[in-house]
Chain A
Amino acid sequence: MSATSFYRHCCRVAAVGTLLLGFACKREERRFTATYPSAPAYAAVTLDTLQPGVPSPELTVNSPAEGNAYDIAQGKLLFAQWNCTGCHSHGGGGMGPPLMDNEWIYGSSPENIVATIVEGRPNGMPSFRNRITANQLWQLAAYVRSLAGLEAKGPSPGRNDEMQYKVDEQRTPFRTPRASSSRNVPAKSERP
């Protein structure tokens, strides 16, 4: 096994290696100066699939923050700092509906969530139009989805340095989202 043939092995292995590593891992990208889709993109999103006549094609906006670890972590920070926990209390619900379950009143796709934040919703969800920049909206939407386990496990955040109140998003199991109207929330006595 002379030294030269050993070098040939190394070059062959290195060549194969670099081929594999060509793609940059999108999950871990830190996009600081990227601009995310702004207001008009999510304004025209319909929240229900029922439409008279032939349903027009669904307008989908792919959220850049989807599956990006940095954006979800930023969303988690903003969720706590802007007092969303005041009503949704870390996802378990309180005055506001719970976000960790698979019941979605106004849609679970990122653009639905962004529309909910911007428009506000009856029964107390304030409208944050012009208050939150586009980047942060998509980051918040990505985090809310990870609360319900809808984001990939890799980029979802682990525990944070606070008192432990729930299982962290990384270990929240995926459950297929189910539309539910705010009215058929079971009365208090029937709740399990």
Chain B
Amino acid sequence: MTVVGDISAEAGRQAERPLRPVVNVSDLPSVVYGSRVVTWWGTVGFMAAEAATLSACVASYYYVLRNFESWPPLRTALPDLFIPTISLIVLILALVPTYLFARAAKRFDKRATVRWMWVAVVMMFIATGLRLMEFGALNVRWDANAYASVAWAVVFAHFTLLLADTLETLLFTVIMQRRDPARYYPGVAEDAFYSYFMVAVWIPCYVTVYLVPRWV
């Protein structure tokens, strides 16, 4: 094997550097919680991307708001408050079973985890149904004017988050029901962590779409 170039002593080497094991890590845990596990960081990464998407929609909302003298524009009705507020309340309430199943998951208590997960899944599906009705509560078609488009954009952007979280919780519930792998408890806790984010990020959007037209 010929070696190319002016490689003086301390420059290049042919063979790979031998590795001498000095530490044994076979006793390290393989199921850990919170920010020690890799998927937690992955969830935070996706949260950052989704938060950026939502901030783009909300920023566009306020940018377009600047173009109008009256907001919502003339001959456009104000969005209702009843359905959206109910939907917000259900979403916030859905955090209660979510917190409970996260706590149960940390205690490896399978029965409690699965019980509270089903409650959380049902409440989230109710919230998803209410969100679909919310589109009607906007009282305007998406193609009426720019106000309608950005309002729909904000609500739809968050709807994708809500739907994704609901289906993910459903998936984890079905998995937890059928088998009891210890390594799925951190996954369940992370799903709860994502639900907290999903609900928290909806509150500024709710204020933007439903309350700002009343204040401006």
A–B contact at 8 Å CB threshold (below): yes
Any chain B CB within 8 A of the CB of A175? no
Interface flags for A57-96 (1: CB within 8 Å of B; 0: not) read: 0000000000000000000000000000000000000000
Q: What total of A-B pairs shows CB separation below 8 Å?
A: 4
Tell me which residues across on chain B come within 8 A of A159, comparing CB atoms: 143
Cα-based distance from A164 to B145 in the complex (angstroms) = 8
Any chain A CB within 8 A of the CB of B19? no
Give chain A's interface secondary structure class.
loop
How many residues on chain A are close to B (CB under 8 Å)?
2
Any chain A CB within 8 A of the CB of B207? no
Give residues 118-143 of B contacting A (CB, 8 Å): 143
Tell me which residues across on chain A come within 8 A of B145, comparing CB atoms: 164
Q: Size range of the interface on B? A: under 10
Cα-based distance from A159 to B143 in the complex (angstroms) = 10
Any chain A CB within 8 A of the CB of B144? yes
Closest B residue, CB atoms, query A171: B143
- B76 CB to nearest A CB, Å: 12
Cα-based distance from A164 to B148 in the complex (angstroms) = 13
Give residues 123-169 of A contacting B (CB, 8 Å): 159, 164
- A152 CB to nearest B CB, Å: 21
Tell me which residues across on chain B come within 8 A of A164, comparing CB atoms: 143-145
Closest A residue, CB atoms, query B145: A164
Cα-based distance from A164 to B144 in the complex (angstroms) = 7
- B140 CB to nearest A CB, Å: 12
- A173 CB to nearest B CB, Å: 16
Closest B residue, CB atoms, query A167: B143
Interface flags for B141-172 (1: CB within 8 Å of A; 0: not) read: 00111000000000000000000000000000
Interface flags for B176-215 (1: CB within 8 Å of A; 0: not) read: 0000000000000000000000000000000000000000
Closest A residue, CB atoms, query B144: A164
Cα-based distance from A164 to B143 in the complex (angstroms) = 8
Cα-based distance from A159 to B144 in the complex (angstroms) = 11
Tell me which residues across on chain A come within 8 A of B144, comparing CB atoms: 164
Cα-based distance from A15 to B145 in the complex (angstroms) = 47
- A169 CB to nearest B CB, Å: 14
Cα-based distance from A88 to B183 in the complex (angstroms) = 69
Cα-based distance from A164 to B140 in the complex (angstroms) = 14
Cα-based distance from A159 to B149 in the complex (angstroms) = 14
Give residues 75-120 of B contacting A (CB, 8 Å): none
Cα-based distance from A159 to B141 in the complex (angstroms) = 15
Cα-based distance from A173 to B145 in the complex (angstroms) = 22
Cα-based distance from A159 to B145 in the complex (angstroms) = 12
Give residues 86-118 of A contacting B (CB, 8 Å): none
- B10 CB to nearest A CB, Å: 32
Cα-based distance from A164 to B142 in the complex (angstroms) = 12
Cα-based distance from A94 to B21 in the complex (angstroms) = 89
Closest A residue, CB atoms, query B141: A164
Cα-based distance from A51 to B143 in the complex (angstroms) = 48
Tell me which residues across on chain A come within 8 A of B143, comparing CB atoms: 159, 164
Cα-based distance from A145 to B205 in the complex (angstroms) = 43
Q: List 4 A-B contacts (CB under 8 A).
A: A159-B143, A164-B143, A164-B144, A164-B145
Query: Which residues from chain A sit less than 8 Å from chain B, CB to CB?
Result: 159, 164
**Pairs A-B, 4 closest by C-beta atoms:** A164-B143, A164-B144, A159-B143, A164-B145
